[in-house]
Amino acid sequence: MQTQTLPPISEMQRAYRQSDSSYDGIFILAVRTTGIFCKPSCQARKPEPKNVEYYASPREAIFAGYRPCKRCRPLQPNGTPPEWVAKLLATIDNDPTVRLTDADVRAMEIDPARARRYFLKNYGMTFQAYCRGRRLGKSLEQIRLGEDLDDVALGFGYNSHSGFRDAFVKTFGTPPGKSRDTECIVAAWIESPLGPLIAGANSRGICFLEFTDRRMLEAQVTTLRRHFKCAIVPGSNKHIQQLNDELHEYFEGNRRKFSIQLIYPGSPFQQQVWNELLKIPYGMTTSYEDIAKRIGSPNAVRAVGTANGMNRIAIVIPCHRVVNKNGELGGYGGGLRRKEALLSLERGEKSFDFASESLGSAQKVAGAAEASSN
């Protein structure tokens, strides 16, 4: 995962003055004179450049003291990449072997620098790295199916065995000739009413599900690599496809229990906690203290809270169902406004608005909690 950098100020000024929606998700503009922050595509009156500050995410703007615009609702995720990003993704999905150069991207009327920034922010890699990961992930799949190495190397755009071998070893840590049994984690973007998620799975099941803007996302990915000792590449498999279907049913209120296969390595204590989380019934909550008692460690309430926060499979392993002993929400890696929304959904409330005023108090608590922990 790499650090996101903002576009040049002149570029951001042009984008918000033109209400360019293709920059939504790239940066947030905050207006000093009103105390409000907006998406670049906001149709409100354009502020003078001297009164504008720029942030990489809504969270940063909130911590700087700004509140969300009620017109463009910058906290309301649409769960859908901009049209120009969807065009790039569709091109790669249609043919993972394609090798798109910057010239090819420009021919699609897309700025390569903009693509690089967007993919860094939302996928943790450049667009070229995304393409390379898709090619190599597909090549591993073909090798496992018994395809000849010559056919795989040439079919995925490599002019020589040495070039293919070097790229393969760099990604998977093993030469292609010894990779028949090599495991990797494929990662995919899943849309949801509460914002986009990143899902990860290997051949055995789902091992990762997190909201893309989670503060500890990078640390969780690092832990994932350490446990599985393999590469994480863009792609999909049957487990991710099943997860996508089950999450859709869950958010529609038509699924109370997930049946997807899960893989969640951790310390024995962590696994005890996560196993207890899976036993919490839909629509119910329990406390950290109760979890500690159930696993036979009544004095380990704080450790239970830490293990709960280290859960790498959000929603499916329902850490959002654990609250403080006094009934208050407590913490949640995806933000307290999401935790409140998930619990509202499971209580049978017909609908919820992620950015509504009804969640305003939760947003303030979440901001204070995150700010105090930074």
Cβ pair 319, 311 in contact under 8 A:
yes
46 three-class SS? coil
How does DSSP classify residue 357? G
d(C-alpha 133, C-alpha 167), whole Å: 10
The total of other beta-carbon atoms located within 10 Å of residue 264's CB is 19
CA distance 178 to 66: 54
Report the number of secondary-structure helices (H) and strands (E) in the chain.
Answer: 15, 10
Backbone φ and ψ of 75, nearest 5°? -90, -5
Contact 28, 61 (CB under 8 A): yes
Q: Which residue is associated with the tokens 């700025």?
A: 111
Specify whether 69 is catalytic.
Answer: no
Give the strands of the sheet with 206-211, arranged side by side: 206-211, 197-201, 185-190, 232-234
Q: Nearest Cα to 213, choosing from 362, 116, 75?
A: 75
Which helix (DSSP H) or strand (DSSP E) does residue 185 occupy?
A: strand 185-190
Choose the catalytic residue: 38, 42, 207, 319: 319
CB atoms within 10 A of CB 81: 19
> Which residue type does 292 have?
A
The encoded tokens of residue 285 equal 């909550």
DSSP 100-150: --HHHHHHTT--HHHHHHHHHHHHSS-HHHHHHHHHHHHHHHHHHTT--HH
Do residues 168 and 177 make contact, with C-beta atoms less than 8 angstroms apart?
Answer: no
Residue 306: count of CB within 10 angstroms of its CB? 13
Which residues have a catalytic role annotated?
Answer: 319
